[in-house]
Structure 1
Amino acid sequence: PQKEEDHTSKAKAPMDMLQLSCIQIAIALLLFTQAKSTTQDTSALHPDDAIPSCVAIERSALLSFRAGLSDPGNLLSSWKGDDCCQWKGVYCSNRTAHVVRLDLQGTYCATEDWSTPVLGGNISSSLLGLKHLQYLDLSCNRFDKIQIPDFIGSLHKLKYLDLSDSMFIGRIPPQLGNLSNLQYLYLVSSTWNVGYSSFYNGTYSTDITWLSGLTILEHLDMTFVNLSTIVHWLPVVNMLPTLKVLHLSDCQLRNSPDSLPVSNLTSLETLDFSGNHLHKRSAPNWFWDLTGLKNLHMSSSGFYGPFPDEIGNMTSIVELHLSYNNLVGMIPSNLQNLCNLERLDFSMNNINGSIAELFHRLPSCSQNKLKELSLSVSNLTGSLPTTLVEPLRNLSWLDLYGNKLTGHVPVWIGELTQLTVLDLSSNNLDGVMHEGHLSRLAMLEELTLSDNSIAITVSPTWVPPFSLGIIELRSCQLGAKFPMWLKWQTHVMSLDISNTSINDIIPDWFWTAASSVAFLNIRNNQITGFLPSTMEFMRAEVMDFSSNQLGGPIPKLPITLIDLDLSRNNLVGPLPLDFGAPGLEKLFLYNNMISGAIPSSLCKLRSLRSVDLSRNNLNGSIADCPVNESSSNMTDLSIVNLSFRNNNLSGEFPSLLQKCPRLIFLDLGHNQFSGALPAWIGEKLSSLSFLRLRSNMFYGHIPDELTELVNLQYLDLGYNNISGSIPRSIINCTGMTQTRDNDDLRDAFTSGVYSAGSDLVDYTENFTVLTKGQERLYTGEIIYMVNLDLLILWERSLKKSALL
């Protein structure tokens, strides 16, 4: 027995130790499980079937919250039943079933389409019933004209809060400073308020000391929040030692201190301070001391002076954006220290030096890492280097637009196999680009070479490896034949091959390839052929086919079309009875051979602003718009600019114009209109600034009501049969004596079409005015007929009239 007892005692000791170890392991496992549960609570997983449904009081809180919302798209239709953990946007802990995450981000930010259904209304304080809530996202919705609720500052367990782009207004509540567990705070004010401050003021803060309570904050984004009254903002931000990402762009901040006595921002990796218009020298500045920064955005900040040498100290930098400033001179040579550099944007500065020297100063240690290089409009000169010391193997974006570069495009461009965007437009480049430049660019999505003298010469059978979304080759030399390689580009959104010396019939395959193009410009070539009968099935928004030799009739237009310019072609036949483009805003068909009457279907184009059908063979009278008895709001058209001159139109002054109260420019000259001028011109067309009725058969007196056109600046009644005296009340037309600018009038005269990446097509070339017996191009400045030079305006029509 004694031996057995001894054996038991000896055995018991290891057993006790084993039990102790098991207990320790169990405790460790329990701690690990709790830690894991905490992590899972933060990630807010839905409970599985073994976990009971959500807590009843939290379900009631959610239902009360929903009751205060407007939900026109029925986005919360799943919010019914007992288990709120299965509702859309609601996430519960898989351990406790408490609601820990509410993610109701709207879709506007992704679609940028205000017609997309989003949430709105009021935010109920019933959210306070979600006592375990750690994550709240209400961004990208439409809470029109309500302030961010103060009570959100009482959701003490929040770690993540996003209220961005939801059209909140007013003061940001300082109660948010009570959220001491917050790690992520996004308060981006709705960006659409830019330029509309008188209508929508967004959010603001006059005191951000509340931020100092967020001691573990890592991400802060207050983009577009108005902080204009805050002077000492940096000491407050400096009290956030864990901050990694800081966005204060476009906050109307007015100062940037030179330095910080002691910087606590040692964890900061991303700083976006762009768009604050600080108007100070680029150095010294406090942020140059943050040598651990990886991403620095200082675009549009009003910095001036030379590029600072301090850039060379930012050895951790990955992205550096200093565009749209007033920095001058060559980039510093110590840029060679930036061995982690991936994205560099110095656009819209005045480097004013050699492009070859700039490439030499790029850090050779990061050339295999460099992905984006943007140097547009920087006054760079000289030729691109013929070779590179280190190839830019990973470069995906090269933008050298708007400089003064000369010479040929080097062949090493074709070695940038990762390139997605190549923009060399608006330089003085010449020479030939051939298959060697293009055949290896399989990743290319945007090719922009416009406004150079580059000739693109490839084999007619060449099949490009890329599928481009944007092709802009304006004023390049593509050759006489239609470029066959475009046949394989079937996903293009913007195509500009204007002024490219094409002298060929337009092939059928082109209309197929261009069927998805939104911006299509082939103007100023010698292209022949007909518009396709399938044109209505294209997806174009802007089409500019002007100054070619296209013939045949005008087919039904694409339903998506907004701007159309078919001027200076050989189009024949009548205007379509159904234009097919209800949203059309600009219709330029001048200088063709279009015949027949003007159809009443023109009245269906309710958005139409600029119409020019001049110099055609149109005839007959202009019918009034048909009355639509089913609609009481079909009275006014939107037309601002209307020209029917140089046709064979007849009948009385068109009564249709009574439905054009916004009309500023009206030209009916050189037709066969007759009858008396109606008195209603002064009342119905009160915005008129330009009225030309020259060379018609109008007769009778000048109605006194015409002198009610106080904005009138040009009036031409020459070569009619008007008789009688000039009304003395003509002095009421004070617009003729004004020398101030009129933006609306200038816009009406210089209407253009934005075509496939090009600048505005100047429309003034079709507007001429008669001054002192000579017809001159109207430039927008020859508008003020000072001292009422009526001899010019009426000429032979008023032989017996007494002049004022």
Structure 2
Amino acid sequence: MAKADMDTLQLACIQIAIALLLLTQAKSTTEDTSAVRPNNTVPSCIAGERSALLAFRAGLSDPTNLLPSWKGDDCCRWKGVYCSNRTSHVVRLDLRGPGYRTGNESRQVLAGNISSSLLGLHHLRYLDLSYNRFDKMQIPEFMGSLHQLRYLDLSWSQFIGRIPPQLGNLSNLQYLNLDTISYVSVDSSFHRGTYSTDITWLSRLTSLEHLDMTGVNLSTIVHWLRVVNMLPTLKVLRLIHCQLRISPDSLDISSNGFYGPFPDAIGNMTSIVELDLSDNNLVGMIPFNMKNLCNLETLDFSVNNINGSIAELFHRLPSCSRNNLQWLSLHHNNLTGSLPTTAVERLSNLSWLDLHHNKLTGHVPVWIGELKQLMMLDLSYNNLDGVIHEGHLSRLDMLEELRLSDNSIAITVSPTWVPPFSLGTIELRSCQLGPKFPMWLRWQTHVMSLDISNTSINDIIPDWFWTAASSVMSLNIRNNQITGFLPSTMEFMRAKQMDFSSNQLGGPIPKLPITLTNLDLSRNNLVGPLPLDFGAPGLENLFLYNNMISGAIPSSLCKLRSLQSLDLSRNNLNGPITDCPVNESSTNMTDLSIVNLSFGNNNLSGEFPSLLQKCPRLIFLDLGHNQFSGALPAWIGEKLSSLSFLRLRSNMFHGQIPVELTKLVNLQYLDLAYNNISGCIPRSIVNCTGMIQKGDNSDELLYGFTSGTRLFPENELVDNADSVTVLTKGQERLYTGGIIDMVNLDLSCNSLTGEIPEEISTLMELKNLNLSWNNFNGKIPENVGALMQVESLDLSHNDLSGEIPSSLSALTSLSCLNLSYNNLRGRIPTGNQLQTLEDPTYIYIGNPGLCGPLSVNCSSQPEPIPGENHGDASGDLVSFFLAMGSGYVMGLWVVFCTFLFKRRWRVSWYSLCDSLYDWVYVQVAVTWTSFRAEING
């Protein structure tokens, strides 16, 4: 059965596949059963035909000498030439290119012109020129004069232009393949492929049994179905991506395929064997007259918009074909309701049942277990519930694939039950298997793909599981409560990808399988050092975050030359990150392939790792919450030119922000908070265009950040994103997949000085700007209102002066603003957005020179001088506040002296004290204002 490979087609053309297969195999379409490749007993070919072949070859371009044997007198011995064993006439010419074997049609192929000298082959019955490169060339009209042809295959040879109607003269033709696609040729020019505006010539091919016009543009053809029905011997019809109209009175063509109801004409095709209308936008229920399709073996209506009851759809299946229907695929539709309680009489010969991605509810009926020929059962991505027990499974001896993921199904079988089947695919994600480890998996020793993630297993992993899973290529047991240890024999498994994350596995990490490319062991209880020899040289993605791994980062990581994503954050790693050994830095092994690297939240130390100079493809780098020190190196701007996300917060870096850092034009996320960075903000920050405009590298960003993180495509979230938090809107917020859209500049809690450069107002894509807790002076940039995307702006705890720019009121996206504890003065600007901010008093606190809303009325008395006596009552109040403040300060000094010995305690305590101080200040200010009003009143 032929299935269209839609993944290879990149244009959103329209698909319809109506493939007709008969129960009996038709006679071979090859020309003459006596046509053989000559041997020593076969006479030489006829001279005239030899001359025709040489003239044909002269028109071809054969730069790689694919036809070296085309020389000498005996053309019957030439490659691809077949002569009749009886008459010596050339009857078959098979010059199919090598692309069909490799899937790569760009390999060595024939090109050039197709000479009309082929007309000299009067007895030619078979011609195959497929998988070559005849680009910029139309199908020659003279081919319609090869009257003896039974077989003609011109597919995938990059012809363009109109299909010649002269092909209708080939009345003996039994096989015609014109499969073509739109494509970009080697010189980057775009070709539209082939088309036809009139296919009435097809009706003259009265012997045709197989017709494939995939990719031929037939968008102007209306009555194509009537023409097709005039082919009395047609068995296979493929009209995939042809932009067809189904009928002139109800459906139109669109860029997304057919739309509208299913055509009733389908029910008139009573001889049809295979019916494929998948990947369109057909709506409603299938026609009732489909009951008439008694010969139907294959029905594929997947990826449409069928709605209504699944029970009603089953009722409309042809009951007269109960012994014929073998393949039923209805996935990715909108079918609802419960599966019928009885249906086995219509489906007793079914080998393929695919209903995934619908809206089915209710229980899985027991009659599923009566489908003794069933090889594939896919009910995943529905809303099914209830229990599947041994009665559903004990007769499915032929079953090879069981897919039930993302339902609420409980699989309840006896611990001693031995399945009759040997499965190759088991996908049971989010079903109920636990709490005990499912013992029946012990007998599934030939599984290639196993997914039992999120199945409520709360048990120690048995030893037999590692034996049973030794041949599994894709293994997923994530998000359970599985305990135990990884086996010492793990290196002998055959897996390419493993996801054991979010469990309670302990012990050290053993040597990994040599075939492994993706491994996720995050959120477990793994201990011990990283292995000195990972044992998986092809490893591409490694996630070990949120464990208790200790020790140094071994230099063996340098051997993982294919590694793209590495996340070791939130462990107990310590020590410096050493450079690769000299013997790992040979000429042909200079650079690493890492794109996504996270070492955050460990105890790593030393200077900025020089190892990173060997990571030119790095897009995401997180070294935050460690003990790195020293100055930021200037080579960052040169060696890490692809960097978009740089997170170095909560370390001990010092020195100035290197100007070279602003050479990172893709940089959109820079977090240097909680260090000891000094100096000014470089005005060349305007070079970071990633903060100024949305770049055209979104695909690269998505790849860089999510590279390998979704080891299994069905996993819902980008797992390693939970190690990325952003201090915004006054609190640390967790970012998952949306981090790639976050444009952030956080330089808070450093020792930066000077004015805030006016150039910072050009970073118009910023969503979070935090410059708090520094020593900035001067005015707030006047054009700060140009930051139209900013959602959180924090300039608090600096020495800023002057008035608040009125442009601030233009920030319509602003939801969090903090200008507290500066020396700002003048009127507070008003605006619709500013009036909606939470806790408005806190925004401006600590700026005694401000007036207006939420502060002193600008037209009232001058601001009182701090400490001025306003009577006995006020003096007592001031004394009270001084006493309370003194006690507060003394308490702070005690804590400060204590926390000199623990940096992390110090950072956390200062954050708490800051909040308490703000609260006390507000209370004092409110009380003072009330008291003054009482006295003045």
Q: Structures share a fold, TM > 0.5?
A: yes
C-alpha change, 1:577 and 1:781, in structure 2 (3 Å) is closer
Task: Map 1:53-452 onto structure 2 (within 5 A).
Answer: 70=64, 93-95=84-86, 109=100, 142-144=107-109, 146-147=111-112, 149-150=114-115, 153-154=118-119, 155-166=121-132, 169-174=135-140, 175-189=142-156, 202-226=158-182, 230-258=195-223, 264-278=230-244, 280=245, 284=249, 302-388=257-343, 390-452=345-407
C-alpha change, 1:102 and 1:760, in structure 2 (3 Å) is farther
Q: Which amino acid aligns with 1:610?
A: S
Q: Deviation at 1:454? A: 0.5
Q: Deviation at 1:357? A: 1.0
- Give the Cα separation in 1 of the matches to 2:234 and 2:436: 57
Q: Deviation at 1:759? A: 4.5
C-alpha change, 1:756 and 1:609, in structure 2 (3 Å) is closer
Q: Which amino acid aligns with 1:771?
A: T
Contact 2:30/2:151, CA 8 A, preserved across alignment: no
Q: Which amino acid aligns with 1:177?
A: G
Contact 2:567/2:597, CA 8 A, preserved across alignment: yes
Contact 2:323/2:347, CA 8 A, preserved across alignment: yes
- Give the Cα separation in 1 of the matches to 2:211 and 2:42: 41
- Give the Cα separation in 2 of the matches to 1:470 and 1:685: 42
Task: Give deviations 1:694-731, integer Å, cap 9, x for gaps.
Answer: 01111100111111222211111011111111112222
- Say which SS state the counterpart of residue 731 (structure 1) adopts: helix
Task: Give deviations 1:262-282, integer Å, cap 9, x for gaps.
Answer: 77533333221122344x565
Matched residue, 1:478: 433
Q: Which amino acid aligns with 1:315?
A: T
Task: Give deviations 1:170-202, integer Å, cap 9, x for gaps.
Answer: 424404334322211222217xxxxxxxxxxx4
C-alpha change, 1:710 and 1:578, in structure 2 (3 Å) is same
Matched residue, 1:783: 742
Matched residue, 2:13: none
- Give the Cα separation in 2 of the matches to 1:661 and 1:149: 49
C-alpha change, 1:68 and 1:733, in structure 2 (3 Å) is closer
- Give the Cα separation in 1 of the matches to 2:519 and 2:562: 13
Matched residue, 1:736: 691
Count of equivalent residues:
714
- Give the Cα separation in 1 of the matches to 2:442 and 2:255: 41
- Say which SS state the counterpart of residue 308 (structure 2) adopts: coil
Q: Which amino acid aligns with 1:181?
A: Q
1:766 aligned onto 2:723: yes
Q: Which amino acid aligns with 1:44?
A: A
- Give the Cα separation in 2 of the matches to 1:588 and 1:430: 34
C-alpha change, 1:48 and 1:704, in structure 2 (3 Å) is closer
C-alpha change, 1:168 and 1:95, in structure 2 (3 Å) is same
- Give the Cα separation in 2 of the matches to 1:439 and 1:777: 47
Q: Deviation at 1:650? A: 1.3
Matched residue, 2:893: none
TM-score by length of 1: 0.80
Q: Which amino acid aligns with 1:668?
A: L
TM-score by length of 2: 0.70
Q: Deviation at 1:230? A: 3.0
Q: Which amino acid aligns with 2:152?
A: L
| Runs of 5+ unmatched residues, structure 2 | 1-28, 183-191, 746-760, 782-937
C-alpha change, 1:539 and 1:91, in structure 2 (3 Å) is farther
Matched residue, 2:484: 529
Contact 1:573/1:596, CA 8 A, preserved across alignment: yes
Task: Map 1:318-717 onto structure 2 (within 5 A).
Answer: 318-388=273-343, 390-628=345-583, 631-717=586-672
Q: Which amino acid aligns with 1:246?
A: L
Q: Deviation at 1:680? A: 1.3
Q: Deviation at 1:681? A: 1.2
Name which of structure 1's ranges 676-685 and 386-395 shifts more when overlaid on structure 2: 386-395
Contact 1:426/1:451, CA 8 A, preserved across alignment: yes
Name which of structure 1's ranges 782-791 and 233-242 shifts more when overlaid on structure 2: 782-791
Q: Which amino acid aligns with 1:475?
A: S
- Give the Cα separation in 1 of the matches to 2:173 and 2:36: 23
Contact 2:91/2:126, CA 8 A, preserved across alignment: no
Contact 2:559/2:584, CA 8 A, preserved across alignment: no
- Give the Cα separation in 2 of the matches to 1:306 and 1:642: 51
- Give the Cα separation in 2 of the matches to 1:710 and 1:724: 22
Q: Deviation at 1:674? A: 0.9
C-alpha change, 1:56 and 1:555, in structure 2 (3 Å) is farther
- Say which SS state the counterpart of residue 172 (structure 2) adopts: coil
- Say which SS state the counterpart of residue 320 (structure 1) adopts: strand
Q: Percent identity between the aligned chains?
A: 67
C-alpha change, 1:765 and 1:161, in structure 2 (3 Å) is farther
Q: Deviation at 1:229? A: 6.1
Q: Deviation at 1:89? A: 7.2
Matched residue, 2:703: 747
- Give the Cα separation in 1 of the matches to 2:626 and 2:238: 61
Contact 1:719/1:797, CA 8 A, preserved across alignment: no
- Give the Cα separation in 1 of the matches to 2:558 and 2:117: 53
- Give the Cα separation in 2 of the matches to 1:230 and 1:364: 39
- Say which SS state the counterpart of residue 337 (structure 2) adopts: strand
Q: Which amino acid aligns with 1:413?
A: I
| Runs of 5+ unmatched residues, structure 1 | 1-37, 115-139, 191-201, 287-297
Contact 2:180/2:193, CA 8 A, preserved across alignment: no
- Give the Cα separation in 2 of the matches to 1:393 and 1:372: 11
Contact 1:107/1:141, CA 8 A, preserved across alignment: no
- Give the Cα separation in 2 of the matches to 1:660 and 1:439: 54
Q: Which amino acid aligns with 1:563?
A: N
What is the Cα-based RMSD across aligned positions, in Å? 3.7
C-alpha change, 1:612 and 1:343, in structure 2 (3 Å) is same
Contact 1:142/1:167, CA 8 A, preserved across alignment: no
Contact 2:667/2:689, CA 8 A, preserved across alignment: yes
Q: Which amino acid aligns with 1:784?
A: V
- Give the Cα separation in 2 of the matches to 1:609 and 1:564: 12
Name which of structure 1's ranges 302-311 and 247-256 shifts more when overlaid on structure 2: 247-256
- Give the Cα separation in 1 of the matches to 2:571 and 2:590: 28
- Give the Cα separation in 1 of the matches to 2:712 and 2:503: 17
Q: Which amino acid aligns with 2:143?
A: L
C-alpha change, 1:184 and 1:225, in structure 2 (3 Å) is farther
